Amino acid sequence: MLVPCEVAVKSVVPAIRAYIAKELTHTYKMKQTDVAYVLGITQTAVSKYISNVRGQAVRIDRKEEIQNMMNDIASKIADKRVSGSQLMLEFCYVCKAVRRSGLMCTLCQRSDPSLDMRECLTCKRMNAPCHDV
């Protein structure tokens, strides 16, 4: 069994990176090496994200709220309005939104087929205090 954070690290975080890398290279015309530097990854990883080789396990851009959040991050990066620590927080906010939206549920079920997704509220109740979960 993988806990939801492990599933997110393997699927959601790469999907966020892929979306933002595409946005930065296509919309903002940034070089792959510059995108790699800002995101803390290699130029090769950026290339794979752009060419849909990586970051495609979950389509997080289907929800307008999440797409808007990622567009905002890309804009902040392009305009140099976000620092490394703030960028980490921005990624966490998007990841939480993806998890709450239910977009990751099928991946969790794939990692543990015994999960009953109708009864699993783990991600939807992420902001609840631990004793309420």
DSSP-H helix ranges across 27-83: 32-39, 43-50, 64-78
Question: Is the pLDDT confidence value at 130 over 80?
Answer: no
Question: Tokens 């393997």 belong to which residue?
Answer: 10
Q: Which of 4-13, 18-27, 93-102, 115-124 has the lowest mean pLDDT?
A: 115-124
Percent of the chain with pLDDT over 70: 92
Q: Which helix (H) or strand (E) holds 102?
A: none
| Tally of structural domains, the chain | 1
**Max mean pLDDT range (1-5, 96-100, 114-118):** 96-100
Domain that holds residue 54: 4-132
Predicted confidence band of residue 124 (pLDDT cuts 50, 70, 90): confident
Please tell me which residue, 110 or 126, carries the higher pLDDT value: 110
CA torsion 25-66-3-35 (nearest 10°) is 20
What is the Cα–Cα distance from 31 to 58, expressed in whole angstroms? 25
| Phi, psi of 102, deg, nearest 5 | 90, 0
Nearest to 22 by CA among 62, 50, 42, 56: 50
Question: Is the pLDDT confidence value at 84 over 80?
Answer: yes
Quick: pLDDT tens for 25-79: 999 999 999 999 999 999 999 999 999 999 998 899 889 999 999 999 999 999 9
Mean of pLDDT values over 116-131: 65
